[in-house]
Structure 1
């Protein structure tokens, strides 16, 4: 049974048969025949269809499709993912996008079907080491970015104002250390965009549910937030979820004392802490619990890095 300290990364998946019929027809037309098997894949937060399909002729594909209900924001996110997936070069360890389209208010992406699994939870150290090595290699391959992309400040700017927002909000129940240092945290957070600047193409939303493992490859999936940032950004942003899901504490995996990292961590922590205090969005029943749990880990890391009392 999951708790708020280890909540699942899961949304309300839409069964294939509930996808708009014209979307299903378009997918069948692209794949060249009727669908005879549709297996919903778990993991991830979007209230959308995520299915492995097989046609009568045996052709396979992985399809993601989302409509305007129950969460209209998901359509914009999938539209961004479609744009980014179409632009990613082959050097990115991501499944190949076969086609994508918008129809009847739905955004659909059709990928090659990869025989792979998510990392085991709680994290196994051998799998974590594989993933961290793959991220290091991916960062090197994508520095400088091979495609045009917005900066991380442009993509996350409206979201990474958690501590500054809390200055003007109800802070009841806030961690005592955070409350005591709220003004300083807001000031530290304000410099995060400059601190995170870089020319590396980053994923910007890495967690175990966005990673797939085969016997010899690590795939990184779901790229709607792709942007330009410092080469260490993905690792820093991912580590709170690693510890929350049974892996080592962040400081054991990343010990660079660079003040820029601390400023970015402050922004990430403020985001998790404040978002975790909000109401659950439509169709995303576990998102806030997942953010709260990451916020607990990130805050402990931030306390260690700042040394503030």
Structure 2
């Protein structure tokens, strides 16, 4: 099973002027490129080797590929540059901007982490390594080390409220379980807010998937792609990662969260509501037209909606509400 993602532009097809700026930032021209797969950006993501033998990870995107992704990469650069070196995050070495007419391009250059994305499907062994890394990330990221980072409530209020929109105009192909509970599902954001987890003070990655974490020798884990970082409860990232494990198959998400002391200390009703909120977000997103340059995104959302709904209904049936 390959990492989920969209087709990426080859590095050689970046504008020549932008590649020249990357060479300058690296201090030596790029002589070899090793593409990396996964992720929903239409731009290249590559490990480059320079003429002087040094390596770096480079990602880039431009508005001709997708009009929104450059903004996300700027957000990623802003957050990553402010993360302390003690966190397991490859250091940002350069943030480059280049434009021509109305076209805007952004390139980010990072240190290379000695590791790879875990092979899919997840195994209990590799997923447990990821959960251990997430536990350490949450503990090291509390209190949140990035001043002024928005809370989860401030960043994702509308996506987490997707059930209300679906209830106002129910699609004909909604799952019967969803149809029977639309009003109750629409109150998920209120229940989450009442529980207080939306305003926690832990650094939350917010987009934990197989393509956003790397596993190295000895169980070392690094976390990349911080465009959606927020403040929230310390167990959120573990639940989001468990959704990925469920969607990619190979690991029971209940078994996985059962290994987390952070999730064990959380209100199980809140965990269920987060899973259901994500199911609603994907239920709405998967029905929209595909955005430019991201032809696989809606199929990905449909697949993850099915996994989140299956897990959420299982937790509801178990009385975890």
User: In structure 2, the residue corresponding to 1:167 is in which secondary structure?
Assistant: helix
Q: Which residue of 1 aligns with 2:140?
A: 141
Shift of 1:308: 9.2
Q: 5+ residue gaps in structure 2?
A: 259-265
Shift of 1:154: 1.3
Q: Which residue of 1 aligns with 2:263?
A: none
Aligned length: 304
Q: Which residue of 2 aligns with 1:184?
A: 184
Q: Which residue of 1 aligns with 2:262?
A: none
Shift of 1:123: 0.8
Task: Indicate conservation of the 8 Å contact 1:171/1:179, yes or no.
Answer: no
User: In structure 1, the residue corresponding to 2:160 is in which secondary structure?
Assistant: coil
In terms of mean alpha carbon deviation, does 175-184 or 91-100 score higher? Answer: 91-100
Question: Structure 1-normalised TM-score?
Answer: 0.93
Shift of 1:274: 1.7
User: In structure 1, the residue corresponding to 2:187 is in which secondary structure?
Assistant: helix
Task: Indicate conservation of the 8 Å contact 2:205/2:229, yes or no.
Answer: yes
Q: Which residue of 1 aligns with 2:229?
A: 226
Q: Which residue of 2 aligns with 1:161?
A: 161
Shift of 1:299: 1.0
Q: How big is each residue's C-alpha offset from its partner over 1:230-266, in whole Å with a ceiling of 9 and x where there is no partner? A: 0001111221210121232222222555322233222
> 238, 249, 256: which is aligned to 1:235?
238
Q: How big is each residue's C-alpha offset from its partner over 1:45-91, in whole Å with a ceiling of 9 and x where there is no partner? A: 11111111111111211111111022111011001001011011112
Q: Which residue of 2 aligns with 1:106?
A: 105
User: In structure 2, the residue corresponding to 1:98 is in which secondary structure?
Assistant: strand
Q: Which residue of 1 aligns with 2:289?
A: 279
Task: Indicate conservation of the 8 Å contact 1:95/1:112, yes or no.
Answer: yes
Structure-2 separation of matches of 1:308 and 1:219: 34
Q: Which residue of 2 aligns with 1:3?
A: none
> 17, 21, 24: which is aligned to 2:19?
24
Task: Indicate conservation of the 8 Å contact 1:7/1:289, yes or no.
Answer: no
Shift of 1:8: 4.7
**Runs (4+) off by over 4 Å:** none
Is 2:172 aligned against 1:172?
A: yes
Structure-2 separation of matches of 1:7 and 1:273: 23
Distance 1:199 1:82, change over 3 A: same
Structure-2 separation of matches of 1:171 and 1:279: 15
Is 2:150 aligned against 1:150?
A: yes
Structure-1 separation of matches of 2:114 and 2:17: 28
1:222-301 alignment runs, 5 A limit: 222-254=225-257, 257-301=267-311
Structure-2 separation of matches of 1:125 and 1:260: 24
Structure-1 separation of matches of 2:245 and 2:315: 18
Structure-2 separation of matches of 1:117 and 1:308: 36
Structure-2 separation of matches of 1:270 and 1:190: 14
Task: Indicate conservation of the 8 Å contact 1:79/1:107, yes or no.
Answer: yes
Is 2:299 aligned against 1:304?
A: no
Shift of 1:121: 0.6
In terms of mean alpha carbon deviation, does 183-192 or 209-218 score higher? Answer: 183-192
Q: How big is each residue's C-alpha offset from its partner over 1:143-188, in whole Å with a ceiling of 9 and x where there is no partner? A: 1111111101111122222111101224211110001101110012
Whichever structure has more helix as a proportion of its residues is 2
Shift of 1:118: 0.6
Task: Indicate conservation of the 8 Å contact 2:114/2:217, yes or no.
Answer: no
Task: Indicate conservation of the 8 Å contact 1:81/1:223, yes or no.
Answer: yes
The two structures, once aligned, show a CA RMSD in angstroms of 1.8
Task: Indicate conservation of the 8 Å contact 1:54/1:60, yes or no.
Answer: yes
